[in-house]
Amino acid sequence: MTHPKGGPPQLLPPHRGTPTDPSILRLQALCYEANYLESRRSFEVKILVSPSCFGAFDGDAMLGYALAFPWSTHTPVPLSCEWLELPPQPTCLYIHDVAIDPSARGTGLGGALVDVLYAEAQRLDVAFVELVAVQGAASYWERLGFHQLDGNTSGYGAEAVWMQRLLR
**What one-letter code names the amino acid at 119?**
A
Which comes out higher in pLDDT, residue 96 or 5?
96
Please tell me whether residue 149 adopts helix, strand or coil conformation.
strand
* DSSP state letter for 102: G
| Domain parsing of the chain, residue ranges | 10-166
Average pLDDT over residues 5-20: 53
* CA-based torsion, 14, 27, 145, 86: positive or negative: positive
CB neighbour list of residue 137: distance below 8 Å, 6 or more residues apart: none
126 three-state secondary structure:
coil
The answer to whether the pTM exceeds 0.85 is yes
pLDDT score of 98: 94
User: Coil, strand or helix: which one is 53?
Assistant: strand
pLDDT of residue 4: 43
Query: What pLDDT is recorded for position 12?
Result: 60
Question: Which helix H or strand E contains 42, and what residues bound it?
Answer: helix 40-49
What's residue 1's pLDDT?
Answer: 34
List, for residues 18-55, the tens digit of each pLDDT value.
Answer: 556 678 888 888 888 888 888 888 888 888 888 888 88
Compute the 3-state secondary structure of the chain and give helix, strand, coil in percent, each to the nearest 5.
30, 25, 45
pLDDT tens, 51-88?
888 888 888 788 999 999 999 998 888 888 888 899 99
| Amino acid residing at 74 | H
**Nearest to 111, CA basis, from 7, 6, 8:** 8
Q: What gap in Å lies between CA 71 and CA 88, rounded to an integer?
A: 9
SS3 assignment, position 16: coil
CATH number for 10-166: choose from 3.40.630.30, 3.40.640.10, 3.40.50.300, 3.40.30.10: 3.40.630.30
Question: Contact 49/86 with Cβ under 8 angstroms?
Answer: yes
- Check pLDDT > 90 for residue 141: yes
